[in-house]
């Protein structure tokens, strides 16, 4: 295992379980990065970013509504099972560049949440990717938490330079 000390790692997926007998793994993908990378490509595997090991993904494909991948050197079910529940990471510098109005979920964590007029409402603590929509877990100024959907009815805009997510005050008030 190698310690990750100098490069910020970003989770792009997670190994769910072994598939078949030939070392294939079903994976949960976070966004499109993992499925858009040209194979083979190097990744790091680990339960957390603090202790990871190097790996190479040789193939990724969609099978029966789930993504399946093969890792270099993993050729049987036992090897695939040994990877179960490990996160798949790459360094932030390997992520595709985004447009001005685009962002990665990890960039939202720690951002201020502000109303239209700029008043501080709270801080983004986590971002979730639910089947129906993405959502922000926000710690409000009164220390309570609320989950806000990342939809136009709620979120006005994300300002990466100001590190702020602007929301509609009336939407939040309806939730509380």
* Cα 154 versus chain centre, distance: 21
* pTM more than 0.75: no
Segments forming the whole domain that contains residue 40: 2-93
SS3 163: coil
Rounded to whole angstroms, how far apart are CA atoms 11 and 130? 16
Whether residue 136 sits in one domain with residue 69: no
pLDDT at 7: 64
Among candidate residues 44, 60, 93, the one where a domain is terminated: 93
pLDDT at 76: 97
Give residue 78's pLDDT band: very low, low, confident or very high (50, 70, 90): very high
Whether residue 153 sits in one domain with residue 123: yes
Burial of 153 (0-12, 13-18, 19+ CB in 10 A): exposed
Residue 100 placed within a domain: no
Whether residue 152 sits in one domain with residue 89: no
Residue 99 placed within a domain: no
Neighbours of 121 (CB within 10 A): 19
Q: Which CATH number is 43's domain given?
A: 2.40.30.60
Domains held by the chain: number: 2
- Per-residue pLDDT of 113-162, as tens digits, reads 999 999 999 999 999 888 788 899 999 999 999 999 999 999 999 999 99
Spatial neighbors of 40 by CB under 8 A, at least 6 apart, are 56, 57, 58, 59, 72
Q: What are phi and psi of 81, to 5 degrees?
A: -65, -30
Q: Which CATH number is 122's domain given?
A: 2.30.30.240
Residue 115 placed within a domain: yes
More confident position, 162 or 99: 162
pLDDT at 4: 43
- Per-residue pLDDT of 31-70, as tens digits, reads 788 888 889 999 999 999 898 999 999 999 999 888 999 9
pLDDT at 126: 93
């Amino acid at each position: 295992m190698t310690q990750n000390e100098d490069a910020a790692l970003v989770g792009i997926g997670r190994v769910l379980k072994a598939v078949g007998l030939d070392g294939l793994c079903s994976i949960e993908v976070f966004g499109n990065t993992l499925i858009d990378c040209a194979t083979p490509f190097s990744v790091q595997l680990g339960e957390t970013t603090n202790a990871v090991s190097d790996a190479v993904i040789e193939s990724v494909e969609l099978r029966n509504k789930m993504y399946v991948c093969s890792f270099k050197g993993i050729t049987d079910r036992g090897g695939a099972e040994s990877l179960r529940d490990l996160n798949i990471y790459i360094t932030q510098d390997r992520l595709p560049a985004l447009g001005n109005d685009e962002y990665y979920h990890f960039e939202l964590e720690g951002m201020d949440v502000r109303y239209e007029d700029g008043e501080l409402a709270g801080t983004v603590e986590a971002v979730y990717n639910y089947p129906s929509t993405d959502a922000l877990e926000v710690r409000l100024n009164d220390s309570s938490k609320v989950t806000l959907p990342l939809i136009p009815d709620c979120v006005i805009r994300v300002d990466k330079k100001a590190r702020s997510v602007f929301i509609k005050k009336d939407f939040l008030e309806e939730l509380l």
